[in-house]
Structure 1
Amino acid sequence: MKLVGYFNDFLNDEVNLNQTRIDDLEKGIDAIEDYIDGSEWSDIVIGWLPQGSWAHKTIIRPVDRGEFDADLLVYVDPMEGWEAKDYVNDLYAQFRESGTYRDMVKRWSHCVTVTYANDKKIDVTPCVVGRTASGVLEVCNRDTNTFERSEPEKYTEWLIDRNKWSGSNAFRKVTRLVKYLRDIKTRFTCSSVLLTTMLGDRVTSQDKGQDSVADVPTALRTIFGRWDDWLQLNEVKPAVRNPHLWSEDFAAGLDQDQWTNMRDKIHRYRQWIDEAYVEPNKNESISKWRRVFGDKFAKDVDIEAATSVSKSAATIIAETAGAVADAGADLIALLKRYGSRVISADFPHFPYMRQPKWRRSPGQGLPVTVRAALYQSQGYNKIKDVQPLELLPGGCAIELRAVTATGLPFSTDFEVQWRITNTDEEARRHNQLRGDFEESSTHGQRWESLEYRGVHIAEAFVIRRHDRTLVGVSKPFYVAIE
């Protein structure tokens, strides 16, 4: 599902740089501009220009709530006798003359960075205007002592056009989401300018007014899919050119191994995005979007989903039996009275259930069955074998076993992991909704204590060890605890 509203909330609450920090950033930049304009550089400063993600409106808040970066260009006249390194060195010296900035600055190859502790960094980059010809812009590389052509304004205009061709500022929002994905996964290396350019190259004027980029989740799927298609066609790292300065290759800093890794990871994430988008069940779709963006996506729906099972069951009874469920009756009470029909088709789908992290085997996979037995306590005094939805007493233990179609254990060539998901009010009160993957207690077997009143779910996932491929998944086994 698209879940447009959840995407809007996610962007506002987790991804976008909040307005307070933007206001504070602008105050810091104004102070820097005022200081340099009043320094010994007053005669050579022509003007100032924001650049990078701040100028492109693709800046995001740090995923660790730490410092964020902003880039600022200072346009200057050429100084007779100055080499490239002199512009960066002298700008650094100007900041060092200030009681405010003296201990906040550090110089790099192209810029001077002003660091505000645990808040932000502002990179101030000198850009020389007209040194070789009228209107030619050059930044200064202190390390190599060379001047390098630059076209920051034209590049920003190029990105603005891409955003205009998508609906609802979708291109900017998609770029922020992909940066967030990069930062939370930390599974591939890619600079922001390279990432933004590769995404921008996937949008054209023909997209204007098209449904494929009309809203954020749809534009994300479209642009991400085109990006993956292009990456798969380029096994060997290509140049990724600045569209307005062909000599500048944004991919130059990426080696072939990093390119291959990024290509593989984007291909996997593209599959996850497609699965989340086409999933018709809302809760399952949320779970699949969380596999992409983490647990903070639609973060407020878990408790409602977990505790609404009794309400859903009462609705089923009203629709199928023409009866009104007792006020306050929970799912176990309704199960006792009306049987298994109180379990809806949506029951085994909860947003807090983790999605499988393993590559799936093509085809139908191996058949997997879960069998269960009730014990007085773990490993002692077997009471009986248990069927799904059979009412069980609290305080006992249940043994879960994953077996083949013939009832035999899986060989040691396979590993069995379990997804145990709790529901309803008592598990929620104890903060035990779970839904993550857990290892077997012994090979293919898992012990669980029967603690919380409600209907809970056990599923077995069979993974082939040698290539970590998911080859089989059981049907949900419902454990009903009185």
Structure 2
Amino acid sequence: MTARVRDFNEFLRDHVNLNQSRVESLQKRVSSLDDFISERSSLTDMVNGDIIPQGSFAHRTIIKPYSGNDFDADVLLPLEEQPDWTPKKYILELNRALGASSNYAGKTVLGKRCVTIDYANDFHIDVVPFVTRSDGLTYITHRIDNEFVRQDPVAFTDWIRESARTTNGHLIRVVRLVKYLRDRSSIEVPSVVIAALLTERVRIFSVHGEYSNVASTLTALLEDLNDYIGPLQSPPFINDRIGGNIADRVTQTGFKNLQSQVSTWARKARQALDAKSEESVEEWQKLFGTAFGNARVSNAIDESVVAAANTPHIETYEYTMAPGEQTLEGSHGIETRIDPNYHMRLVGRFSPRSTPKGRPRPMDSNGGFVPIGRELVFTVEECNVPGDYDIYWKVRNAGPEAARLQNFRGEIRKAGATITENSMFYGPHWVEAWAVKRGVAVATARQDVTIMQN
């Protein structure tokens, strides 16, 4: 097996992943939108918490738009139910509230389920009213049909994030790669369907090494998907995690095209993965094109990152050890021998804004995106390590702002099952926890956090 780890990382960075400047612009726009609606709009009194990223935005599977197109991001606006409002009025009132602001006037378009804000042909944000009704369940609204539609996108996001952990995070990269292939094919299948079909193929108890890198994960999931949909005559039922069918968004023609392409992709991926090292780049190029294996730059440091850090050769340290970062063995003499039979679940929550409405939300339910200035609480909520054990924690910052402030952190400390932090500055961050028994780390868990710019 030839994993081509570096080539995949460079291909994703240069050709697939949304570039960092656009990511930061999107996050800043969402943060500003959240502030306006929650604090200065005609809907302020009925807002029930922060805006919730959903779809590709929450799943972190947005990719570079193909052929100059813009990209879109979906967000949910939590609203309290208004007993005298019809379902369509939520969308109409949202559009009216946005139109009353000089920042959004003339930029909005009414949709069936959302109000779209268009940002100058770069990207657009679909804002979806998200109503918790008297039955305690969550709904979106349909303007044309004037009805409430039962949905729980938060549960769907939780499912994808949990499955991503099973694949060591590679599921997210695989979804991006398959969307890249889709955009260069004749397939017309929504991103959410692709994400769901691939996530359904993740095995909790995988074959040894199956999800050890991007190449093997991609091959395994494509082959499993081909085995699943190949014999079918029509799109299968795809559970939206509350009993609805996502596959109703796929036409029969779209499904047949998907079947054909997945069969081809799976075959090419297997040939590339099994190829000899000297032949593997050429084999992967048969799947992804000649851009694969031809990195445009020699390192992963974006010029914008260097400029922001105001240091000639500073690294963001998102994927490498930061200055002063500690390791369990080096700083505490603790050996790491993770036992696959042990499981830890780390849950991060962030506080609502200063207004009394809203509630602390689990970070995974909104893709780990957190506004600046919130209290963050991380708790080990599940751990099946038997007997007594200690919990050790590491908090790490990364990105240009951490570099500018020279605040990467990375110290390891012994604490209880809960620690408290604050979202002080924007960028990628993460928290790791280890269960240490008799001087050996036998289980671990991680919570990623992206703090959005104001």
Query: TM-score, with normalisation over the residues of structure 1?
Result: 0.59
Pair 1:299 & 2:294 matched: yes
- How far the C-alpha of 1:66 sits from its partner, in A, is 3.5
Q: Distance in 2 between matches of 1:101 and 1:210?
A: 51
**Worse-matched range after superposition: 273-282 or 41-50:** 273-282
- Cα distance, 1:300–1:173 mapped onto 2, change above 3 Å: closer
Please point out which of 88, 92, 100 is paired with 2:95: 92
SS at match of 1:212: coil
The letter for the 2-side match of 1:200 is T
Please point out which of 72, 77, 92 is paired with 1:74: 77
User: Which residue number corresponds to residue 245 of structure 1?
Assistant: 242
Q: Distance in 2 between matches of 1:158 and 1:11?
A: 24
- How far the C-alpha of 1:151 sits from its partner, in A, is 1.1
Please give the residue correspondences for 1:31-46 in structure 2 after superposition, counting only pairs within 5 Å. Answer: 31-37=32-38, 38-46=40-48
Q: Distance in 1 between matches of 2:295 and 2:60?
A: 27
- How far the C-alpha of 1:65 sits from its partner, in A, is 4.5
Q: Distance in 2 between matches of 1:289 and 1:257?
A: 28
Q: Distance in 1 between matches of 2:277 and 2:131?
A: 56
- Contact 2:71/2:123 (8 A) holds in 1: yes
User: Which residue number corresponds to residue 259 of structure 1?
Assistant: 255
Q: Distance in 1 between matches of 2:251 and 2:156?
A: 24
- How far the C-alpha of 1:144 sits from its partner, in A, is 0.9
SS at match of 1:122: strand
SS at match of 1:80: coil
Q: Distance in 2 between matches of 1:79 and 1:98?
A: 23
- How far the C-alpha of 1:202 sits from its partner, in A, is 0.3
- How far the C-alpha of 1:300 sits from its partner, in A, is 4.5
Measured on the aligned residues, the alpha-carbon RMSD in Å equals: 1.5
Q: Once superposed, which parts of structure 1, at least 4 consecutive aligned residues long, lie more than 3 Å away?
A: none
Q: Distance in 1 between matches of 2:287 and 2:106?
A: 40
Pair 1:138 & 2:135 matched: no
Pair 1:222 & 2:223 matched: no
Deviations 1:350-384 (A, max 9, x none): xxxxxxxxxxxxxxxxxxxxxxxxxxxxxxxxxxx
Q: Distance in 2 between matches of 1:33 and 1:25?
A: 12
Please give the residue correspondences for 1:422-461 in structure 2 after superposition, counting only pairs within 5 Å. Answer: none
Please point out which of 270, 276, 292 is paired with 1:274: 270
Q: Distance in 1 between matches of 2:231 and 2:211?
A: 23
SS at match of 2:129: strand
Please point out which of 275, 283, 288 is paired with 1:288: 283
User: Which residue number corresponds to residue 206 of structure 1?
Assistant: 205
User: Which residue number corresponds to residue 106 of structure 1?
Assistant: 109
SS at match of 2:66: coil
SS at match of 1:233: coil
User: Which residue number corresponds to residue 15 of structure 2?
Assistant: 14
- How far the C-alpha of 1:79 sits from its partner, in A, is 1.1
Please give the residue correspondences for 1:163-202 in structure 2 after superposition, counting only pairs within 5 Å. Answer: 163-167=164-168, 169-183=169-183, 185-202=184-201
- How far the C-alpha of 1:235 sits from its partner, in A, is 2.3
- How far the C-alpha of 1:286 sits from its partner, in A, is 1.8
The letter for the 2-side match of 1:99 is S
Say which one has the larger Rg.
1
Q: Distance in 2 between matches of 1:257 and 1:42?
A: 44
Q: Distance in 2 between matches of 1:206 and 1:10?
A: 29
SS at match of 2:31: helix
- Contact 2:10/2:295 (8 A) holds in 1: no
Q: Distance in 1 between matches of 2:65 and 2:273?
A: 26
Please point out which of 202, 209, 234 is paired with 1:236: 234
- Contact 2:95/2:115 (8 A) holds in 1: yes
- How far the C-alpha of 1:8 sits from its partner, in A, is 0.7
- Contact 2:87/2:146 (8 A) holds in 1: yes
> What is the aligned-residue identity percentage?
30
- Contact 2:113/2:141 (8 A) holds in 1: yes
Q: Distance in 2 between matches of 1:59 and 1:257?
A: 25
Unpaired stretches in structure 2, ≥5 consecutive residues: 297-454
Please give the residue correspondences for 1:318-467 in structure 2 after superposition, counting only pairs within 5 Å. Answer: none
